[in-house]
A and B are shown apart, each in its own frame.
Chain A
Amino acid sequence: MIEVTIIGAGVAGLFAAHELARRGAQVRILDRNGAPGPHGCSWWAGGMLAPECEGATAEPVITRLGREAAEAWSRITPVTHRGTLVIALQRDRSELDRFARRTTGARRLDAQGIATLEPDLDHREGLFFPSEAHLDPRVALSDLLADLSSRGITVERSQTPPENLSGIVIDARGMEAPGLRGVRGEMVVIRTPEITLTRPVRLLHPRHPLYVVPRGDGRLMLGATQLESAARGAIRVRSLLELLSAAYALDPRLAEAELVETGADLRPAYPDNIPRVTRTGRILRLNGLFRHGFLLAPALARQAADLLLNDIKGELVHED
């Protein structure tokens, strides 16, 4: 039986552990902070499994591999299969046409169609991507831990770097690993009893695009900024203003919502914003998930397992 030590208990490391374990490998997980929490960027994710919408700006491989995410996650955690609704303010209607041109799988909606999907929303035109899904990232991480625990795997606290470990090592440390570019993201969670959404809603805007992901219990996650900056620290006032103004434009009733939580962290990324499995001898680096942590962790894990167990080189695999 193959033995693998994984460093990093974020979504990349944990999903790789799950994939390898279910395919018969013996797995250990190390993380300097232990179980997932606010110290890792997976904690702040949106949890949209939206390969079609991401295709509007991402490379085609993101869409192609992202399509396996919803099914893979369904083995582990509740996944809501209700698609994605995309809308634009009246004066930005041309953004909808452009978004439709650059994606596949969209259905055009009029006011009636939007109201049928989301009765609390009042917008005239939109796009619907019925094949997409979403999950709650923190629930998903906890369910991943439970799945691993049922296989006898727990996260051990350790700061040992990959070079000092013996055997096959998967380095999934995200920004802690060398050579990654940080792309700052900031998010907000609000709670309102007035508006219920049942699926992610994206508001297209040339300057301040917004997505809203329902988290249950009246909570809505608003995300997310994307700044070419590796500065850490709490959400900036400007970002908070932009996110909340966009939410207000989506529906003025959101002005009455409670501000529950804000967060900010760095997305680890390579220059092409595509994640990689990089093999250097006995060390495999799984990194660069950028804004596609939950969307692409299953494909990244599968390709890492294919490489280790079956010597199959998938398209995310790079040899050093």
Chain B
Amino acid sequence: MLFYGTELSSRLMLGTAQYPSPAIMEDAFRRSGASVATVSLRREGGRGQGFWDIISGLGVHVLPNTAGCHSAKEAVTTARMAREMFETNWIKLEVIGHSDTLQPDPFGLLDAAETLSAERFEVFPYTTEDQVLAQRLLDAGCKVLMPWGAPIGSGLGLNNRHGLRMLRAAFPDVPMVIDAGIGMPSHAAEAMEMGFDAVLLNTAVAQAGDPAAMAQAFGQAIEAGRMARGADPMAPRDMAVPSTPVIGKAWL
């Protein structure tokens, strides 16, 4: 599975906000093996070399995001600044539609995705599980989708399993990253078991009491979920099925 032509060594993408210190953030990346770091330009885009030096020292792919943008126009401007700053065409496109739920604005998202794709950006759109929107984003030029698990920072896990399963089935060849709402490693493992290609998270690791240990747990869960998917899991059934044959057992 390639993300805009790039093979990722790990299917964990980790955010870089809210850690107790950059040293702990570095440790979280090292122990989890995460292969992509998302960085917010809008909020933390100072001329501060120190923090960027630490991020580039992580040796992972940088995925700038447009977090905090509330309109297509704002997101496009932020994306252009990010491309200049990080010298990458990758952009995680977030257009927030509602400030309490932080759910994406589907109209602004599509609008911005069209503009940015035309400018040869490689867009990772933060979207819902809506299939129609997914198709429109693909039509706009997106080659990766990032459906949410649950609202950003909520830690609720996969809120709409049915919708996510339908989305996965509808676009089996499109790389999909579950982004937002992941609280526990089991949520991430489940997303991978369902056939999603990667998981992006931040708060669940950064706000844990021991962020580096939690990051490692996520790295392992994602690996476990991915391996399980590849191993073709059994289907659940209503009836018990004995794992050893009953016939032929000695009758007493």
Contacts and interface: CB of A to CB of B under 8 A. Distances in A.
Nearest to B44: A228
B226 to A, nearest CB: 30
Contacts of A59: 20-21
B153 interface: yes
B20 to A, nearest CB: 5
Contact of B44 (A101, A227, A271, A273): A227
A180 B50 contact: yes
B45 interface: yes
A274 B44 CA distance: 21
A230 interface: yes
Contact of A182 (B20, B50, B54): B50
Contacts of B46: 182, 184, 227-231
Contact of B20 (A58, A184, A206): A58
A273 B50 contact: no
Interface in A5-64: 57-59
B89 to A, nearest CB: 24
Contacts of A273: 20-23
Nearest to B26: A271
A182 B48 contact: yes
Given A207-B153, A271-B54, A230 B49 contact: yes
Contact of A231 (B21, B47, B54, B209): B47
A229 B20 contact: no
Given A101-B209, A227-B46, A181 B20 contact: no
A35 to B, nearest CB: 28
A217 interface: no
Contacts of A184: 46, 48
Contacts of B136: none
A57 B46 CA distance: 23
- Which among A58, A207, A271, A274 has the greatest number of chain B C-beta atoms within 10 A? A271
A102 interface: yes
A272 interface: yes
A206 B151 CA distance: 13
Interface in A265-314: 269, 271-274
B165 interface: no
Interface in A155-198: 180-182, 184
Nearest to B21: A273
A274 B43 CA distance: 24
Interface in B31-58: 43-51, 54
A184 B50 CA distance: 12
Q: How large is the interface on A (under 10, 10 to 19, 20 to 34, 35 or more residues)?
A: 20 to 34
A302 B227 CA distance: 54
Interface string B3-27: 0000000000000110011111010
B27 to A, nearest CB: 10
A231 B43 CA distance: 11
Contacts of A228: 16-17, 22, 44, 46, 48, 51
A272 to B, nearest CB: 4
Given A101-B209, A228-B44, A272 B50 contact: no
Contacts of A57: 20
Contact of A229 (B16, B45, B209): B45
Given A272-B21, A273-B23, A229 B51 contact: yes
- Which among B16, B20, B45, B51 has the greatest number of chain A C-beta atoms within 10 A? B51
Interface string A228-268: 11110000000000000000000000000000000000000
B212 to A, nearest CB: 12
Given A101-B209, A102-B209, A206-B153, A271 B22 contact: yes
Nearest to B43: A227
B84 to A, nearest CB: 16
A311 B50 CA distance: 32
B22 to A, nearest CB: 5
- Which among A181, A182, A269 has the greatest number of chain B C-beta atoms within 10 A? A181
- Which among A207, A228, A231, A273 has the greatest number of chain B C-beta atoms within 10 A? A228
B23 A181 contact: no
A229 B44 contact: yes
B45 to A, nearest CB: 7
Interface of B: 16-17, 20-24, 26, 43-51, 54, 153, 209
Interface of A: 57-59, 101-102, 180-182, 184, 206-207, 227-231, 269, 271-274
23 contacts: A57-B20, A58-B20, A59-B21, A181-B48, A181-B51, A184-B46, A207-B153, A227-B43, A228-B16, A228-B46, A228-B51, A229-B43, A229-B44, A229-B51, A230-B48, A230-B49, A231-B48, A271-B21, A271-B22, A271-B26, A271-B54, A272-B22, A273-B22
Q: Which 5 A-B pairs have the closest CB atoms?
A: A229-B46, A230-B48, A181-B50, A231-B46, A272-B23
